[in-house]
Amino acid sequence: QVQLVESGGGLVQVGESLGLSCAASGSIFSIGAMGWYRQAPGNQRELVATMTSDGSRNYADSVKGRFTISRDNAKNTVYLQMNSLSPEDTAVYYCNAIVRARCTRPPDTYWGQGTQVTVSS
């Protein structure tokens, strides 16, 4: 009913930039917080950045000052601009959103399938 689809992952070199996008689609009444998480090989999934519908942002300390999260509420899309990338940023990046579907009362948490970001030395 509701799907999140990421795009923009790829292979970059140290110091380069990359932008990710995630579009929510389906029977959507409203979307609350949206965000990005990542999971590196052998590690737990961790928060990267989140953003509420009214514009409040939250970043992990490891990416603060380098990454920027933004969203277009009219398009149900969240973005992640990643600058000054390092090998430590290599991970699968997952989009997350809290969505209330049409004609339903409770909100649900949805995840995208993930997109690979690899930063080479």
Which of 107, 1, 117 is CA-nearest to residue 53?
107
The pLDDT of residue 53 is: 92
Share of the chain above pLDDT 70, in %: 100
The pLDDT of residue 54 is: 92
Q: How is residue 31 written in tokens?
A: 């979307």
The pLDDT of residue 73 is: 94
Calpha distance 107→114 (Å, rounded): 21
What confidence tens digit (pLDDT) does each residue in 34-83 have?
Answer: 999 999 999 999 999 999 999 999 999 999 999 999 999 999 999 999 99
For residue 105, pLDDT over 80 is answered with no
Q: How is residue 22 written in tokens?
A: 């995630």
Share of the chain above pLDDT 90, in %: 93
For residue 104, pLDDT over 80 is answered with no
Q: Are strands 28-39 and 91-101 parallel, antiparallel or unpaired?
A: antiparallel
The pLDDT of residue 63 is: 98
The pLDDT of residue 97 is: 98
Distance in angstroms between the alpha carbons of the first and the last residue of the chain: 41
The pLDDT of residue 1 is: 84
CB 24 within 8 A of CB 97: yes
